[in-house]
């Protein structure tokens, strides 16, 4: 798998994905270890904005892998909608998050994806995102 910096446009200190674990045409799996110096971590936990950013960057890594395979730079994406968002818990520093992005549909540069994040097999967060990619 390529380095995450080759797949997403975000750069430190706001990179919320450590690696793309696997990817296909319809699904991708990413991983993040929550570190104490994480931009969105306070009081020993990763807060809601960080979880949503992690899920969005996981979707970006999924899309970025497709552009990487075409020898293109990652495209800038914009979240158009977040719905059915449920956060079950705020992961503690040291937690390893595994996130699965599943493509529901894609039309004219707009993707609808389902995203689910777990930690040690326990649900952390889930949502649907509509993402617009800038060509």
Q: How many domains does the chain have?
A: 1
- Is 78 or 2 the better-scoring residue by pLDDT? 78
Does the pLDDT of residue 115 top 90, yes or no? yes
Residue 29's pLDDT band, with cuts at 50, 70 and 90, is: very high
Q: Residue 121 maps to which CATH number? A: 3.10.129.10
pLDDT for 84 equals 96
pLDDT for 76 equals 83
Alpha-carbon distance of 77 to 65, in angstroms, equals 14
- Domain housing 49: 4-133
pLDDT for 1 equals 75
pLDDT for 70 equals 87
Whether 93 and 41 have beta carbons less than 8 Å apart is answered as yes
Whether 67 and 74 have beta carbons less than 8 Å apart is answered as yes
pLDDT for 121 equals 94
Task: Among 1-5, 79-83, 86-90, name the most confident range.
Answer: 86-90
């Amino acid at each position: 798998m390529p380095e995450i910096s080759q797949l997403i446009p975000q750069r430190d200190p706001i990179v919320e994905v450590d690696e793309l674990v696997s990817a296909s045409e319809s699904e991708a799996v990413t991983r993040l270890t929550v570190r104490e110096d994480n931009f969105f971590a306070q009081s020993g936990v990763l807060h809601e904005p960080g979880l949503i950013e992690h899920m969005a960057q996981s979707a970006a890594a999924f899309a970025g892998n497709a552009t990487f395979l075409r020898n293109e730079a990652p495209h800038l994406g914009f979240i158009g909608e977040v719905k059915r968002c449920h956060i079950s818990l705020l992961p503690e520093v040291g937690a390893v998050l595994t996130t699965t992005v599943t493509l529901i549909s894609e039309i004219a540069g707009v993707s609808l994806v389902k995203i689910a994040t777990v930690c040690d097999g326990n649900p952390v967060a889930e949502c649907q995102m509509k993402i617009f990619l800038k060509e």
